[in-house]
Structure 1
Amino acid sequence: MAMLHSYSIPKGIKEWMFLTTPRSRFWTNAAMYVLFLGYFSYVMVSDKLPETSYSGYDAFLMVWVGTFILEEIRELVKPCCAVNDVFASVSRGRRAQVKQYFTSAWNYMNFVQLLLFVLGEIMRWFPEGRSAGRILLAFSLFVFYIRFLQNLTIVGSNIGAKVIMIFKTLFDFFAMVAILLVVLIGYGVAAQALLFPHVTDPKSVAAGIFFRPVFQIYGELFLDEINATPSDGTCSTNETVILLGDLPPCPQHREWGIVFLVIYMVLSNILLLNIFIAMFSTACELIQNKADLHWSLQYYTMTKQCFNGPRLPPPFIIISHLRLVIRSFWQRWKGAKIGGQLHEKEKRLESMKMEERCSYNYVLRKRNEKTDNSNARILALLKDIENSIKEGDDIEKDDLIFAS
């Protein structure tokens, strides 16, 4: 009886296989991403981002974000079907690839955060744009934090369902904001025209139309400003005092201003916001009923991404990118070396296919000719039989006439 020999995998290979599994890659990427957020936050809130020059902290941050950019470029221009992509079976064109890339909300977020970072760093090259560059970097850091929510969707079905609820209700939120914006602008223009008709400063007019109605939704009603009188010492009806900027003008038509405020609060706070809360509750209930299904889909997507992606997390992902570049050049050089032989084989294969097609067409034509000849002979035979029967009938008639 043959003996079964057990094969022991070396310990180093076991550890490497464990570290390169999709689950291990996910947790490694998540840990490095948390470290990146901490470093980016430290650079922004501390004095490591000077306004007059670049520092080593800033340079290392740009290198780290540069690895994110390279990875997104690789995702965008990667081959239609990766070599180890066991999940994909249909190849796609470049245009379809780009379209597929931007079907994910997370990819849109990646594009926005990296674009803000690049624009912020470019603005910081110019002395007059350093302040604007810092603002763009702050927005980029905020989007990087929001982007971390994707990692939370994989932790568990409960947390993942909550994150999905947020994104699913964004479309309803934008629809309600559009309706609320119409009501807000209508009230703002009417209130500004009634209370402060003589104010012509563009900033003051814009603040009265947009700033005041927005904060009134949150409970800041500005009643002291609406009910202000010259006796209070907070406003004035003297045009000279108003032009000098010592005191703002007193509001007019206060009673009608209060009436418009009541109508606006009923529409915005009582009606529209409660409708939005009801819509949000309905969407949350529907998603919660399918929480496991949504979480399974997110888990599958993340597993596929980790399986087909580089094995190392940023910033060490640059090593994987260099490996891909070297392998690409090697394959091109190897392909150029044996290109002539492959070309000859392709020509020979094409000739064989041509001969096969010609042979098939010849056999098909001969078969059709044979069929046509057989059909013609059958028709001629049927015609002869028909003529013979007709002649027999004529002879029989003649015999009957002769006999009579």
Structure 2
Amino acid sequence: MYNPTRPEGWMQASFILFLLFFSYYMLFAFDPPSDGIPSIHWTEVVVIIIISTMLIEDIRQFICQDNLFIGGKIHNYFLASRFFNIMSVAAYILFYVGLILRFQNAYDQDSFSAARIALAYDLEIWFICSLKFIGVAQKLGPKLVMIRKMIIDLFFFTYIILIAMSAYGIASRAMHFYGTFDFDGRAIFRNIIYPVYYFMYGSFDDERQLLDADGYNNSTAIATQVLLAFHMLFVNILLINLLIAMFSYTFQQVQDHTDLVWRYERYTLIREYFDRPTLFPPFIIISHIYELIKYIYRRLPTNRQQSFGRKSEAKTFKMIAANKSVEKDWTDFESYATNVYARSLLTSQPTTAIVPSTTNSQEAAGDIQTSMMTDFKQLNEDVTSMKKAVIDLRAHAEEVSTCMKWMMEAMSRVKMSKDPPPPLKLSVTTTDLRSDT
């Protein structure tokens, strides 16, 4: 029986240890190589090995998905509610980019600073990815779903805020701050984007001091003051409150189904670790090597001939209750649901499955037996009705055949045609049909 806490617990412990090593490495051992400092610290080696083994495992999970097409694999892995998979891919890319910058030009201060920035951002993402382990908590799991949905709301809302920020930043600098900075990327960010962004948090005192310094006789300063007032009204009052309302709606939507959301998130995490090897990084590479050897061994021509015709074994995900009575109740429920679904297909009518309220397996089995007897009785009545309809139809066909024979004999007596009348085929009589039934 699968125990979800065993691999998950080891994975949590190894991930915490990985974050500790990575944090120590970034805080105290990330130095450029010199005569007195080795080029690489042992914690950095451990971090590289752990991340590389985790990358191999994620690649294996991506390849071993049920979908056979690459498009379906990408959709299931990234787009089907897999927020942390996207974060993990970003973390892998940042880590190896930072690693390349760290060793490519180790003595170049700019490249080394770029490597430090990339790896620091990467460490931040790995800390965020550690939140997925609290998804099994009944109280905290739904909160992660709320955060994920709010990020989606914020992503679409950011576009509107960026337009408003760019509109005020460019217009105000074109009026009152013309010629105060050069056409440079850092200068544009420092004078247009950076100060206007903090207006959302109420930090606009510096902007007002710059405008008030020129007095109220300057027309551009007055026009910029009016534009600032309109910008604060639109962004800080209208847009921010609209965003809060969207967050409140998302929160309430998840809160109304918090138990269902928690169960789904817990199932997703257990299902993920069911497919994972038992070992944790970096020792998970042992499982990968073992699986690779098994795959190569099975692909050998001699083994393929020997395994031809054998029943293949597959790892199946099924929840088995520790209590036998509970397991029997689950089996009865599955049988009942299957029976109801089969009935809905036969009658071509949507049928709502009503789960028996009692947990007594004998009562559930009795309900299933009664339902099946009712179905058999209804089916027997339908077959009897169909037989009666067929008998009546054949009797009518026999009468029509007799009438046609009489008409042809009458036409033959008056010699309406030189050709002889065509012979009529003998039909099965109702007496024969009754004897057969």
**Counterpart check, 1:111 vs 2:76:** no
Measure the CA separation in 1 of the matches of 2:165 and 2:273. 46
Conserved? CA contact 2:65–2:73, under 8 Å: no
Q: 2:414 aligned to 374, 378, 393, which one?
A: 393
Aligned to 2:302: 337
Conserved? CA contact 1:169–1:280, under 8 Å: yes
Measure the CA separation in 1 of the matches of 2:273 and 2:189. 49
Distance 1:33 1:337, change over 3 A: same
**DSSP 3-state at the match of 1:124:** helix
**Counterpart check, 1:77 vs 2:63:** yes
**Counterpart check, 1:134 vs 2:110:** no
TM-score for both structures, normalised by structure 1? 0.70
Distance 1:207 1:130, change over 3 A: closer
Aligned to 1:224: 209
Conserved? CA contact 1:187–1:264, under 8 Å: yes
- Structure 1 vs Structure 2 CA RMSD: 2.7
Aligned to 1:180: 161
Residue 337 of structure 1 aligns with an amino acid whose one-letter code is T
Measure the CA separation in 2 of the matches of 1:283 and 1:152. 20
Could you tell me which runs of 5 or more consecutive residues in structure 1 were left unpaired when the two chains were aligned.
1-16, 81-90, 231-250, 346-381, 396-404
Aligned to 2:75: 99
Measure the CA separation in 2 of the matches of 1:390 and 1:61. 104
Measure the CA separation in 2 of the matches of 1:299 and 1:51. 44
Deviations 1:204-245 (A, max 9, x none): 444332122112222221122222259xxxxxxxxxxxxxxx
Measure the CA separation in 1 of the matches of 2:309 and 2:16. 54
Distance 1:341 1:283, change over 3 A: closer
Q: Which deviates the most, 160-169 or 55-64?
A: 55-64
Q: How does 1:296-335 map to 2 (within 5 A)?
A: 296-333=263-300
Structure 1 position 386, deviation (Å): 6.5
Residue 326 of structure 1 aligns with an amino acid whose one-letter code is I
Conserved? CA contact 1:41–1:141, under 8 Å: yes
Structure 1 position 79, deviation (Å): 6.1
Aligned to 1:349: none
Conserved? CA contact 2:298–2:304, under 8 Å: no
Deviations 1:290-310 (A, max 9, x none): 111111111111111111210
TM-score for both structures, normalised by structure 2? 0.65
Q: How does 1:203-352 map to 2 (within 5 A)?
A: 203=184, 204-221=187-204, 222=206, 223-229=208-214, 253-333=220-300, 336-339=301-304
Aligned to 1:364: none
Larger Rg: 1
Measure the CA separation in 1 of the matches of 2:47 and 2:411. 105
Measure the CA separation in 1 of the matches of 2:238 and 2:53. 48
Aligned to 1:196: 177
Aligned to 1:120: 98
**DSSP 3-state at the match of 1:54:** coil
Q: How many residues align?
A: 308
Residue 102 of structure 1 aligns with an amino acid whose one-letter code is F
Measure the CA separation in 2 of the matches of 1:323 and 1:344. 25
Deviations 1:123-154 (A, max 9, x none): 11222422211211111111101111111111
Q: 2:13 aligned to 13, 19, 31, which one?
A: 31
Measure the CA separation in 1 of the matches of 2:52 and 2:309. 44
Q: Give the % identical residues.
A: 28
